[in-house]
Amino acid sequence: MQFRYHDLGVDPEKVRHVVEREIRVLERRLSGLPADLPQLDITIEHHQRSDSYTARLLLRVPDRDLVARGAGQNPAQALRDAFSDLYDAIERHLSKLHREDAIRRARQHPGTVKPPVPPEEGS
């Protein structure tokens, strides 16, 4: 996995341990995706007026860009919030890839699923 770090007023050393830990977790969660190399852009911004931080994550995976945001009173809290949001987005993306929603609906409500159409025979 490649990742780029963009900061706007935040010392990278303050969040290095959070980023390293979350990237290890992220790599495990992305093991179900195709082998193309995912890219993660991390942006942290410090808001002087409110003395708060915003983290924005952009994960580029095959056929999709997943965006997550987080906020907090310190950069580490904002990053953890953003990574939590990103994990939810990854789960939704993986379930769409595996059509889990359609399978789950078919199991819960078997009468709503259309039966397969038999192939037409040539005349």
Q: Given pLDDT bands bounded at 50, 70 and 90, which one contains residue 120? A: confident
Cβ pair 88, 103 in contact under 8 A = no
Q: What is the DSSP string of 82-105?
A: HHHHHHHHHHHHHHHHTTHHHHHH
pLDDT (tens digit per residue) in 58-93: 998 877 899 999 999 988 899 999 999 999 998 888
CA–CA gap between residue 23 and residue 62 (Å, rounded): 18
Residue type, 22: E
Q: What is the pLDDT of residue 111?
A: 65
DSSP 87: H
CA–CA gap between residue 7 and residue 35 (Å, rounded): 29
pLDDT (tens digit per residue) in 31-59: 766 666 778 888 888 888 888 999 999 99
Q: Extract the tokens encoding 118.
A: 């038999």
Q: Which domains does the chain have, with CATH numbers?
A: 2-100 (3.30.160.100)
CA–CA gap between residue 64 and residue 66 (Å, rounded): 6
What are the residues facing 42 on neighbouring strands? Answer: 5, 57
What is the pLDDT averaged over residues 81-108? 79
